[in-house]
């Protein structure tokens, strides 16, 4: 059974940092892109960043608006993907999800291309 489990969310003041973790089990980790999405209350889920699978180049891709503040990294041995979030803003508040996919790189930012999702972790940034 494929399972993704997020952790590391919480309450932080604006300007602070958080590191989210996504632990994967039940899948051939190296064969999957692992992405982060987020959803604020009353808004649609949006792409945050992704660690592409090694076979597709192993690069990270980000939402343009988040480049420079957010960093995605992968630990293959631990089967984990991390999201380091710096200089957090109140508008970063939301539920953060990790998800897995084998989609072609052209679809890597599309939530519909991801089949397995974690339960999400809440991030709240206070002003």
Question: Would you write out the chain's pLDDT as a tens digit for each of its 127 residues?
Answer: 899 999 999 999 999 999 999 999 999 899 999 999 999 999 999 999 999 999 999 999 999 999 999 999 999 999 999 999 999 999 999 999 999 999 999 999 999 999 999 999 999 999 9
Q: How far apart are CA 115 and CA 103, in angstroms?
A: 10
What is residue 105's predicted lDDT score, i.e. its pLDDT? 93
Residue 124: is it exposed, middle or buried by C-beta count within 10 angstroms (0-12/13-18/19+)? Answer: middle
Q: What's phi and psi for 106, nearest 5 deg?
A: -65, -20
What is residue 94's predicted lDDT score, i.e. its pLDDT? 98
CA torsion 26-30-32-37 (nearest 10°) is 90
């Amino acid at each position: 059974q494929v399972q993704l489990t997020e952790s590391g969310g919480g309450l932080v003041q604006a300007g602070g940092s958080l590191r989210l973790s996504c632990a994967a089990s039940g899948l051939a980790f190296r064969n999957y892109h692992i992405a982060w999405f987020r959803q604020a209350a009353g808004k649609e889920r949006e792409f945050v960043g992704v660690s592409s699978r090694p076979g597709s180049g192993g690069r990270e891709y980000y939402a343009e608006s988040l480049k420079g503040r957010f960093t995605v990294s992968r630990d293959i041995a631990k089967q984990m993907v991390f999201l380091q979030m710096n200089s957090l803003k109140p508008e970063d508040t939301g539920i953060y999800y990790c998800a897995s996919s084998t989609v072609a790189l052209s679809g890597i930012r599309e939530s519909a291309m991801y089949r397995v999702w974690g339960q999400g972790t809440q991030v709240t940034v206070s002003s």
